[in-house]
Amino acid sequence: MSTRFKIISYEIKESKTGEKIPVVNGIHLHSIYNPVKEAENFIEENSNLLKENSNILVLGLGFGYHIKELIERLKDFHGDSFQVFIIEPIDQLVNDSKELLDSFKNTNIITNLTVEELYSDREFINFLVTKPALLAHPSSFNLSKSYFTGLLKYKSDNSIDKSRYLLKNHLLKNIFSTYPQNISLDKLVETKCRNDKPIEGEIDYIFQIYKELSKQTGPKEELR
C-alpha cells in the first residue's frame, strides 16, 4: 500500500469512566465504558509474549491506553532493557496523545509514512533486525487494515542500489557501488558465496560473513 491513511471523520468522546476516546471514521479505538480496563485485559492476554520478548512492534496507537499498560508490563519483565516501536498511520492521534506519549520510556512512534517510506527508514529497519514480537491493537488494526496488511505483506526492494542507500559503513558503500545497481543483494551474495568459488580476499570474506549473519538476524518472515 502506497497511500497514507485518509480521515473521513474524527471526533473525541468521553468514556463512562471519564477517559478520552478517539472515534475515527466511525470506529471507537477504545472501550466507551472503561478503556483502561480494556487495555489491562489486552496486555494480560499477551503476557506470555511480553515475558519472552523485550522488543515489541505495536500496530496502532489509539490514545495510548494499551501502550501505557504494555510498558508497565515490560518493565516488570525486563526492567529498562526493552524497546517499543509503534506504527500509527494517523498523525492526528499522535498529536492528540503527545502529553501521554512524552512520559513513555524506550518508545519510538512512526506516523504518517507510506509503507514504502517506512521500509526506507533506517531506524525501523535496524529495529526489525532485532526480531521484535508483533502486537496488533485490534480496533486500530481494523481501522487501518489495508495499511497494516500492506505493511505485513510488503516485499522490500532488495536491489544493490537500495541496500547501498541503507548502509552506513562507507567501505561497504564503496564495495556495493562497483556492482550493477539493479541486481538483488541476495543474487550477488549467492554468486559471491558459491560452494565452488574460493575465498580470494577481504571482499569475499565480507560476503561470507553477511551470508551467515543474515541467517541468524534476518527480520521476521511476516515483516519482510
pLDDT band at 13, cuts 50/70/90?
A: very high
Grid cell 478517539 is found at 22
Q: Which domains does the chain have, with CATH numbers?
A: 16-153 (3.40.50), 160-223 (no CATH)
Dihedral angle over CA of 208, 211, 216, 218, nearest 10: 150
142-169: pLDDT as tens digits = 999 999 998 888 765 555 555 555 555 5
Grid cell 496488533 is found at 136
Cα 220-90-168 angle, rounded to 5 deg: 45
Stronger pLDDT, 36 or 158, i.e. the higher one: 36
99-142: pLDDT as tens digits = 777 788 899 999 988 888 888 788 888 898 888 999 999 999 99
3-state class of 162 per DSSP?
helix
> What does the pLDDT read at residue 194?
60
pLDDT band at 193, cuts 50/70/90?
A: low
Are 131 and 217 contacting, i.e. CB atoms less than 8 angstroms apart? yes
39-93: pLDDT as tens digits = 999 999 999 999 999 999 999 999 999 999 999 999 999 999 999 999 999 999 9
Average pLDDT over residues 195-205: 54
- pLDDT reading at 183 higher than 50: yes
Stronger pLDDT, 116 or 172, i.e. the higher one: 116
Comparing C-alpha atoms, which of 128, 118, 88, 141 is closest to residue 221?
A: 128
- pLDDT reading at 217 higher than 80: no
Q: CA–CA separation, 222 vs 143, rounded Å?
A: 20
3-state class of 164 per DSSP?
helix
- Structure-block grid coordinates of residue 95: 498529536
pTM: 0.72
Listed in sequence order, the residues at least 6 apart from 98 whose beta carbon sits closer than 8 Å to its beta carbon are none
